[in-house]
């Protein structure tokens, strides 16, 4: 009988170097990587299987459109390759034990692979270790990063913040005061997005980062945080939010204080509400990481691994800074057309 790790072990950070002799993963800097667009060229066709494979998706929450879109990508690719997929998520983005329980249940049900998007870098480590010992393929898919992850699919998180900071540098030659609304503490993506923005903006010397505060991915908490920062710094010129939900809350705060013409607001993820807000002239921009396409690539990676292909540890997926100037170029629902566009860039 296999030993089953329980949710009580969620708080334990498993020794990261002990499993598979891999160093702790930093998905942004890992050198053993490949771009998503090179998989077919370098590894050939996706393997086929005698039996129908079962792949489980473990997401952070379905209240955020980004994660629903990621699941849509899983399903599209799975349906095209005769794969059974079950996609489940925790009740909210702070339900770490609930998410761990989902992962443990899928392992017990005999799934061949798990695509996991942990709520923090540590909370799914116990389930991941159990799965690996049982011979279950585990792929870490955006945006928290388990240090023990054998395979990861996602974009370069630090680059999200870099792109937004560069926009401010290009559009405000005189500099100014800016602020960051962070995601959840303990999440790799939140830390890297914030770090990319801070390091890039502070290197310019003309800008002052006056605040960097967490809002835990919450639109309401972001509204409150942005309101407070605007009251403390009435001459602020912009916000960078670690996700779009928070950015939309920030837009509301800026509008409530009648500073929409003065304050630029950026988000991250590229959800449809962000695109709509950009078109209305409210949100300044978002860094789209193309979640449906990312889901398709993650499912492809899982099938390649199940078929015995030895892939690099990190498969990088694309991203692009979206503003009113290029929104029509990237507003593509057809992922085949989107793939062709991103291949050309």
Q: Tens digits of per-residue pLDDT, 24-48?
A: 999 999 999 999 999 999 999 999 9
CA 208 – CA 218 distance, rounded (Å):
25
* Confidence category of residue 138, pLDDT binned at 50, 70, 90: very high
Tokens 């057309």 belong to which residue?
337
**Helix, strand, or coil (residue 69):** helix
What is the fold of 7-154+291-317?
A: Rossmann fold (3.40.50)
Question: For all residues of the chain together, what is the average pLDDT?
Answer: 93
Give yes or no for residue 5 having a pLDDT over 80: no
Q: Tens digits of per-residue pLDDT, 90-113?
A: 999 889 999 999 999 999 999 999
Supply the pLDDT for residue 20. 53
Residues 6 or more apart whose CB falls under 8 angstroms from that of 244 comprise 66, 267, 268, 269, 270, 271, 273, 274, 283, 286
Give yes or no for residue 234 having a pLDDT over 80: yes
Average pLDDT on 230-252 reads 98
Supply the pLDDT for residue 8. 30
Q: Give this prediction's pTM.
A: 0.91
Nearest to 57 by CA among 46, 79, 72: 72
Average pLDDT on 221-243 reads 98
CATH number assigned to the domain covering 157-288: 3.40.50.2300
Average pLDDT on 159-185 reads 97
Q: Do domains 7-154+291-317 and 157-288 have the same CATH topology?
A: yes
For the chain, helix, strand, coil in percent to 5 are 40, 20, 40
CA 168 – CA 123 distance, rounded (Å):
35
- 9-18, 292-301, 315-324: range with lowest mean pLDDT: 9-18
Q: Tens digits of per-residue pLDDT, 74-85?
A: 999 999 999 999
- Give the residues across from 84 on adjacent strands: 54
Supply the pLDDT for residue 7. 34
Q: Tens digits of per-residue pLDDT, 207-230?
A: 999 999 999 999 999 999 999 999
Supply the pLDDT for residue 74. 98
Q: Tens digits of per-residue pLDDT, 192-209?
A: 999 999 999 999 999 999
* Confidence category of residue 6, pLDDT binned at 50, 70, 90: very low
Supply the pLDDT for residue 343. 87
Q: Where in the chain are the domains?
A: 7-154+291-317, 157-288
Supply the pLDDT for residue 12. 34
């Amino acid at each position: 009988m296999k030993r089953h790790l329980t949710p009580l072990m969620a708080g334990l950070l498993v020794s990261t170097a002990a499993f598979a002799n891999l160093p702790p993963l930093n998905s942004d800097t890992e050198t053993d990587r490949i771009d998503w667009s090179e998989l077919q060229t370098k590894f050939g066709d996706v393997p086929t299987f005698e039996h129908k494979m079962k792949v489980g998706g473990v997401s952070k929450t379905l209240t955020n459109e980004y994660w629903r879109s990621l699941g849509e990508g899983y399903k599209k690719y799975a349906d095209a390759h005769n794969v059974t997929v079950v996609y489940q998520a925790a009740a909210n983005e702070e339900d770490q034990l609930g998410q761990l329980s989902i992962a443990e249940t899928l392992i017990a049900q005999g799934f061949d692979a798990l695509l996991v998007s942990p709520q923090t870098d540590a909370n799914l480590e116990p389930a991941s270790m159990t799965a690996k010992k049982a011979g279950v393929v585990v792929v870490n898919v955006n945006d928290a990063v388990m240090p023990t992850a054998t395979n990861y699919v996602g974009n370069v998180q630090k680059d999200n913040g870099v792109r937004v900071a560069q926009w401010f540098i290009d559009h405000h030659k005189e500099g100014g005061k800016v602020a960051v609304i962070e995601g959840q503490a303990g999440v790799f993506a939140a830390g890297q997005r914030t770090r990319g923005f801070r390091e890039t903006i502070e290197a310019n010397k003309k800008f002052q980062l006056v605040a960097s505060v967490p809002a835990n991915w919450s639109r309401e908490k972001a509204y409150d945080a942005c309101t407070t920062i605007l009251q403390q710094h009435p001459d602020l010129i912009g916000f960078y939010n670690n996700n779009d939900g928070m950015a939309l809350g920030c837009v509301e705060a800026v509008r409530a204080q009648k500073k929409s013409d003065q304050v630029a607001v950026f988000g991250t993820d590229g959800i449809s509400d962000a695109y709509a807000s950009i078109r209305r002239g409210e949100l300044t921009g978002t860094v789209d990481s193309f979640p449906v396409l990312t889901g398709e690539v993650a499912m492809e990676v899982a099938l390649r691994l199940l078929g015995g292909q030895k892939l690099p540890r990190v498969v990088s997926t694309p991203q692009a800074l979206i503003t009113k100037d290029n929104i029509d170029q990237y507003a593509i629902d057809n992922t085949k057309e989107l793939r062709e566009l991103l291949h050309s860039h």
